[in-house]
Amino acid sequence: MTGWLIFIAVLLVLIVLFQVTRTLDLVSQLRGDDDSQLEQTSRMQAIALFIFMALGVIGFFWSFRHFAPTNVDVASEHGELIENMFIATLVVTSIVFVLCNVLLFTFVLMYRYKKGREAVHFAHSNKLEFFWTVVPTIVLTGLVVFGLQAWTRIMGPPEEDAVIFEMTGQQFFWTSRYPGADGKLGPRDYSLICAENPLGIVTREYVEHRINTLKGNAELGVEGEIAALENRKSELPGLIAALEDKIAKRPNRYMKDQLQEELDALEDEMDEIDDHILRRNQTLDRITKKYTEDYYMANAEALTWGYDDFLPSELHLPVNHEAIAKITAMDVLHNFYVPHMKVKMDAVPGMPTSFKFTPTITTEEMKQILSQNPAWQRVREGDTDPVWMSFKYEVACAELCGLGHSAMKYTMVVESEDEYNTWAESQIPYWNGIASSLKISGFSKAAPVLKTAEPEAPAATDTTATVIAAQ
């Protein structure tokens, strides 16, 4: 009700305002003498435009000081490079921006319409045009040269001893992986992905496991996904018929709607189930075709790299040591974005990318820096400490990837070389945690070795070595 009243009130005000503007227009028509009218209007508008420009230029500098995140410290080496380029370009473009706008609005003010003033017929001047073609060309060449130098450095090859880690984007989370003691990330195959092998790392056991979970294995008591789907497919018509029956009998409207929804869901499932079965079969097909004995012979070494890889729940990197992110995606495009480090690179399904960078400020140092920053004094709901106290470098996704795009947060800790090493050594290879639950028959051989591996054992990498040796 009040909503309507407000609406009507606003409408009335608008009508009144409109009548006023109409009257203004009519009056100016009646007064005649269009030229002096126009002279007056032009004067008013020109002055207003000039003031607008002046306020705008002031606003530009003011808003820069107030809102630009210039107090965010750059936490990587190449980030400094980018920052400098940014500032240099900002200076150059600010000059152009201010100068051109000032000229524009000054000309408008100076040469606003006056009765009897004659404009100058000035149609072109080769000299002027040459001048302002050449000047921007020179300035831009300068920027390009510096820009490309920086670009080559940023995109150049990484150093030999760079810390390698891998980030995999998936709707809607990141999975990180480190290569473990051997310094090599195990190869991956998306066909092998399953609950026990979330990244699809390739080892002989994982291949066997995946074949068994797809095809089923009576000996091991595994039903197999394909068989499960087939079963479901055969029971669906019965379920659907039963539901249809119920709906036909049920007079209650509410219940009917609910049943109808269930029915729709079942019918959708029925429509799609063949696709799912087909895809499982195709996956199985790809696996059995690819992983032949020849393949194992040819890739024997690479197939051992995956055992000691570990999948931590956050990134750790040593300070002042180059790191290289190997970036991949499983489903759609994502982008590995670390705002403080000015790191940004797309994650593309089917095409691994990478980005190298050297963190320069540890997490602890950054905390101290941020403790001085007003924006970090906020207190999160349900928390008592200001946010800077729990600071960790944040990783975000910078390529639209669906409804959870804004929730793809990951964290990164930068620490001293020693701290990093201690951390890395304490990490347990993913394989160790999962091996016993794999559905493979040859597993009994490897099992005893693995079972001796204590979860806390710092010598996790040794254990892996034993596993490999046992092969």
Partner 1 sequence: MSQETTIKEHLETHVTDHDHDHDHGHHDHHQSFISKYIFSTDHKTIAKQFLVTGIIWAIVGGGLSVLFRIQLGYPDADLSWMKPLLGKWITPEGHIAPEFYNALITMHGTILVFFVLTAGLSGTFSNYLIPLMIGARDMASGFINMLSYWFFFLSSVVMAVSFFLATGPASGGWTAYPPLNALPAAASGSVAGVDYWLVSIVLFIVSVLLGGLNYITTVINLRTRGMKMFRLPLPIWAFFLTAVIGLLSFPVLLSAGVLLLFDRNLGTSFYLDQIYIGGEALANAGGSPILYQHLFWFLGHPEVYIIILPAMGIASEVLSVHSRKPIFGYTAMIYSLLAIAVLSFIVWAHHMFMTGMNPFIGSIFVIFTLIIAVPSAVKVFNWLTTLWRGNIKLTPPMMFAIGFVSLFISGGVTGIFLGNSSIDVELHDTYFVVAHFHLVMGVAAFFGMFAGIYHWFPKMFGRHMNNTLSYIHFWGTIVCAYLIFFPMHWEYMLPRRYPTHAGFDTFGMFAQLNEFITIAAMASFAFQLIFVFNFFYSIWYGRKLKEQNPYHATTLEWTTPIRPGHGNWPGDIPEVHRWAYDYSKHGRDFIPQTEPLSQYEIEHGEHGDEMDSDVIAHENDDHQS
Pick out residues in 121-160 that bind partner 1 (CB under 8 A): 121-125, 128-129, 132-133, 136-137, 140, 143-144, 147-148, 150-152, 154-155
- Is 6 a binding residue for partner 1 by CB under 8 A? The answer is no
Binding to partner 1 (CB under 8 A) within 408-467 occurs at 409
CB 80 within 8 A of CB 74: yes
CB 344 within 8 A of CB 337: yes
Applying CB under 8 A, the span of 89-97, 234-242, 244-252, 427-435 interacting with partner 1 comes to 89-97
CB of 395 to partner 1, least distance (A): 10
CA 256 from centre of chain: 43
User: 315: which 2 tokens?
Assistant: 């990134």
Binding to partner 1 (CB under 8 A) within 391-410 occurs at 391, 394, 396-407, 409
DSSP letter, residue 321? S
CB of 7 to Cu ion, least distance (A): 40
Residues in a beta bridge with 345: 336
**Single-letter code of the amino acid located at 329:** A
| 254: partner contacted, choices Cu ion, partner 1, none (Cβ within 5-8 A by kind) | none
Please tell me whether residue 125 adopts helix, strand or coil conformation: coil
CB of 72 to partner 1, least distance (A): 7
Please tell me whether residue 105 adopts helix, strand or coil conformation: helix
CB of 317 to Cu ion, least distance (A): 22
Give the x-and-dash track for 194-213 against partner 1 (CB under 8 A): ------x-------------
Nearer to Cu ion, 380 or 409 (CB): 409
Residue with tokens 């051109």: 100
User: 301: which 2 tokens?
Assistant: 């070494």
Please tell me whether residue 410 adopts helix, strand or coil conformation: strand
- Is 214 a binding residue for Cu ion by CB under 5 A? The answer is no
Nearer to partner 1, 94 or 466 (CB): 94
Interface with Cu ion (CB under 5 A), residue total 4
Neighbour count for residue 93 (Cβ, 10 Å): 12
Residue 412's closest CA among 315, 345, 322, 313?
315
CB 443 within 8 A of CB 205: yes
Give the x-and-dash track for 236-275 against partner 1 (CB under 8 A): ----------------------------------------
Binding to Cu ion (CB under 5 A) within 309-348 occurs at 334
- Is 348 a binding residue for partner 1 by CB under 8 A? The answer is yes
| 409: partner contacted, choices Cu ion, partner 1, none (Cβ within 5-8 A by kind) | partner 1
- Is 163 a binding residue for Cu ion by CB under 5 A? The answer is no
CB of 171 to Cu ion, least distance (A): 8
Who's near 328: CB < 8 A, 6+ residues apart? 166, 167, 168, 169, 188, 347, 348, 349, 352, 353
Give the x-and-dash track for 405-424 against Cu ion (CB under 5 A): x-------------------
CB of 315 to partner 1, least distance (A): 15
Binding to partner 1 (CB under 8 A) within 298-317 occurs at none
Please tell me whether residue 346 adopts helix, strand or coil conformation: strand
CB 453 within 8 A of CB 429: no
| 69: partner contacted, choices Cu ion, partner 1, none (Cβ within 5-8 A by kind) | partner 1
Euclidean distance between CA atoms 45 and 275, whole angstroms: 67
Alpha-carbon distances, residue 213 vs 37, 116, 196, 223, 415 (angstroms):
86, 91, 10, 7, 41
Binding to Cu ion (CB under 5 A) within 384-403 occurs at 397, 401
Binding to partner 1 (CB under 8 A) within 68-87 occurs at 68-69, 72, 79, 81-82, 85-86
Nearer to Cu ion, 207 or 401 (CB): 401
Euclidean distance between CA atoms 157 and 168, whole angstroms: 21
Neighbour count for residue 344 (Cβ, 10 Å): 14
Applying CB under 8 A, the span of 108-116, 215-223, 302-310, 454-462 interacting with partner 1 comes to 108-116
| Length of the chain, in residues | 471
User: 278: which 2 tokens?
Assistant: 């087909």
Binding to Cu ion (CB under 5 A) within 425-454 occurs at none
User: Contact with partner 1 (CB under 8 A): which of 6, 9, 31, 59?
Assistant: 59
Binding to partner 1 (CB under 8 A) within 158-187 occurs at 170-171
CB 303 within 8 A of CB 398: no
What angle is formed at CA 95 by the lines to CA 90 and CA 100, rounded to 5 degrees?
A: 125
CB of 291 to partner 1, least distance (A): 14
b vs e for 220-249, b when ≥16 Cβ sit within 10 Å of the residue's Cβ? eebebbbeebeeeeeeeeeebeebeeebee
User: Contact with partner 1 (CB under 8 A): which of 50, 77, 105, 307?
Assistant: 105
Interface with partner 1 (CB under 8 A), residue total 125
Binding to partner 1 (CB under 8 A) within 360-389 occurs at 375-376, 378, 387
Nearer to Cu ion, 185 or 397 (CB): 397
Contact positions vs Cu ion (CB under 5 A): 334, 397, 401, 405
